[in-house]
Chain A
């Protein structure tokens, strides 16, 4: 029940962000297209002006011949319509993101060529950068809307990387094993198994909402790739030996650098809490749970 709810909310959140992104693109295309059409010389003058503020650029010429303007207007109408169609049906019209990216890539790359081999006008450079960014943006959105990614997310209800087999999950498992010395035994040969503590921890965080488990990822990545700064080795955390891992994490626990200590704190907190909440762990350390005499409840 929880998992389904959490996943549904996560999917909606991502879709909302993607839709917002495409709608913003659509309005940008409409406004810029209108500016091109209504004040083409003004746009040229303005980009020349900005270029002169930023550095040494050649001045782009104005022209009275409007054929290219007609073609540019048609292109801006086309990309606006594409953006409109995409935001109407994100998943159904997902391939149109590639069409949009192709158009923008053509615009971006031709401007780069003109800038390099024709005239070093700021307008060319600007269009190369802006349309190039839009190409990258479209490709990212295309990937985000990948149905296979959605299926994986739905299956686990977890952010990418923390699903079973993911990179973040491998780091989490290594941290948990190190914090709890899970490779050994707790009490004189009496084993205290801790299967699926990672699942338990993620489930606990999932109870806080979809962003709960996601908050773990930056901390896990900092632990994994912080070794060059805090342990003097290029090997990431998961490739250290058990004793090295313990020594490395002890450095986090006692660090005088507050943010570093805070990186491990929530994971250590939840790991030790969840582990020692288990009846077998309680028994192994001699804790006696209170015996509740239900017959006496409520008689006071």
Chain B
């Protein structure tokens, strides 16, 4: 396959193509494959390495060091500090997510059309793209036999309380439920872009360069003519060589955290660039049972409660190996150890919220992104309710202790305590929160004053410069956004294909 590993390069590299695509995640890989299949010469650049399925060891820490940015230690700056894991590998964050594939709800797409003038993204227009992406990725609900005991137990509790829930649709083919989706699928079942769209792009003639960290977009006045990148060694440190890639169009798809910084350091200016950051803050809610659960069996994120989606609350399975669960289990010394000794009796679900507040991404000295985000008061209350509902379901399922990731109430011992949590005024700093799905930092809008990019992904006021990743999403997708990013990227790539075939005079 046409792959150049820049870690092996000993001289500066130059490339020319019709389109230069930066990033191989949910946005970039889809754009690259769609354009290459339409006959364009595509150069695809990725900062991380290309790992084959055989290299996925199912050992969490090994894989975190290889696949995650900053060894998994990326976080926001604010109150509370929020862990924000990001992928840094071919496949981007799709290689380390759980494979959950929901389309954005119709009411969100209608809001985009209404408020941002994005009629092309109304449900009827985006539906064929959702279908196309779902077909390519083999999206289907997790079958009953792979739900796993963790989800089955939680479902029992949720149903006892009357919460509506369903198995989660995922992009997996032949999944056997190894339970380590977030550390690179070791069986190649999860159809992350490193196994789906990137190979499709390469088969259609695209070239991939790995270990290439793009440092700026090359602008000729208001026209993008390509990018410059530092080439990296195996450790991700610059090896002193550089890449200059020229193209008629340049598509930035490095994710909502890095895209605004790259554009800004390249000289692109827009008041909305880096602002409007939306994330899905989440608290892990663990539960101890008297009987064995063996929560590691099956698909970790196999079932969700959809009942509270309109409130911006979604509750999803989230079981992880001991190394990842251990920090969330409360206690110091023997107290912690005794709880970990009962690891096989542990259940774990995630209480996620769709945020109402926003954050922003700034450029730190050295060009690294700085994510500034604090939980808004409304989100704090929503998160408390989400945690409370999740804890209630665990108690309804028979849990004896629940760990809600709230520092002022580290252990709950009854459903009454779980209910009371929703009414507590819990300060933001007491939540132990992680967040996923950053989006919105180069917002799409037909109005150039409101949005950084237009409905075809082109940066307002610039020629040949496009964005096609989560940063263009105008608001929170209110669900895991992978499928929506891919559908939007498909639309942007199709528009770009037309633009390349029929350039405006």
Which A residues fall within an 8 A CB radius of B?
1-2, 5, 178-181, 184, 186-187, 204, 207-208, 246, 249-250, 253-256, 258, 261-262, 268-269, 272-277, 281-282, 284-290, 292-294, 296-300
Contacts and interface: CB of A to CB of B under 8 A. Distances in A.
Interface string B295-320: 01000000000000000000000000
17 contacts: A5-B237, A180-B336, A180-B337, A208-B73, A258-B79, A262-B81, A276-B322, A277-B321, A285-B344, A287-B343, A289-B59, A292-B178, A294-B54, A296-B176, A297-B54, A299-B174, A300-B189
Interface of B: 53-54, 58-61, 65, 70-71, 73, 79-81, 173-174, 176, 178-180, 186-189, 235, 237, 294, 296, 321-327, 329-337, 340-344, 407-408, 410, 429-430
Given A246-B332, A268-B327, 10 more contacts: A208-B70, A208-B73, A254-B410, A275-B326, A287-B296, A289-B58, A290-B186, A293-B176, A294-B54, A296-B187
Contacts of B80: 258
A-B interface, 6 closest residue pairs, ranked by CB to CB distance from nearest: A300-B174, A277-B323, A290-B178, A272-B326, A181-B333, A276-B322
A5 B236 CA distance: 12
A285 B341 contact: yes
Interface centre among A253, A268, A273, A288 (most CB of B within 10 A): A273
Contacts of A255: 407
A287 B321 contact: yes
A186 B326 CA distance: 14
Contact of B334 (A246, A258, A272, A290): A246
Contacts of B344: 285-287
A11 to B, nearest CB: 15
A297 B79 contact: no
B327 A272 contact: yes
B320 to A, nearest CB: 11
A54 B61 CA distance: 59
> Secondary structure of the B side of the interface?
loop
Contact of B188 (A186, A208, A262, A297): A297
B341 A272 contact: no
A278 B483 CA distance: 35
Contacts of B324: 273
A207 B71 contact: yes
B366 to A, nearest CB: 11
Contacts of B342: 285
B458 to A, nearest CB: 36
Contacts of A186: 337, 340-341
Contacts of A184: 334, 337
A287 B327 contact: no
A192 to B, nearest CB: 9
Interface centre among B79, B329, B333, B335 (most CB of A within 10 A): B333
A256 B408 contact: yes
Contacts of B180: 290
Contacts of A281: 322
Given A204-B71, A287-B344, A276 B326 contact: yes
A258 B428 CA distance: 10
Contact of B58 (A178, A256, A276, A290): A290
Contacts of A299: 174
A181 B326 contact: no
Contacts of A261: 407, 429
Contact of B323 (A273, A293, A294): A273
Nearest to B339: A285
A257 to B, nearest CB: 9
B341 A187 contact: yes
Contacts of B60: 277
B60 to A, nearest CB: 6
A276 B334 CA distance: 14
A250 B332 contact: yes
A181 B337 CA distance: 7
Contacts of A179: 332-333, 336
A101 B51 CA distance: 56
A180 B408 contact: no
Nearest to B340: A285
A6 B214 CA distance: 23
A285 B322 contact: yes
Nearest to A258: B429
Contacts of A249: 332-333
A243 to B, nearest CB: 9
B53 A297 contact: yes
Contact of B186 (A180, A274, A292): A292
A289 B343 CA distance: 13
A286 B180 CA distance: 17
Nearest to B236: A207
A288 B322 contact: no
A277 B173 contact: no
Contact of B333 (A246, A275, A296): A246
Contacts of A208: 70-71, 73
A254 B294 CA distance: 29
A289 B59 CA distance: 8
A250 B324 CA distance: 20
Contacts of B179: 290
A292 B60 CA distance: 14
Contacts of A256: 407-408, 430
Nearest to A281: B322
A282 B58 CA distance: 13
B343 to A, nearest CB: 4
A299 to B, nearest CB: 7
Contacts of B331: 250, 253
A288 B293 CA distance: 12
A276 B174 contact: no
Contacts of B294: 288
Given A297-B187, A298-B188, A273 B326 contact: yes
A290 B56 CA distance: 12
A253 B330 contact: yes
Interface centre among B176, B322, B335 (most CB of A within 10 A): B322
Nearest to A257: B429
Contacts of B327: 268-269, 272-273
A216 B193 CA distance: 37
Contacts of A250: 331-332, 335
B202 to A, nearest CB: 16
B490 to A, nearest CB: 23
A290 B184 CA distance: 13
A298 B53 contact: yes
A258 B59 CA distance: 32
Given A2-B235, A5-B235, A186-B337, A287 B322 contact: yes
Contacts of A258: 79-80, 429
A5 B239 CA distance: 12
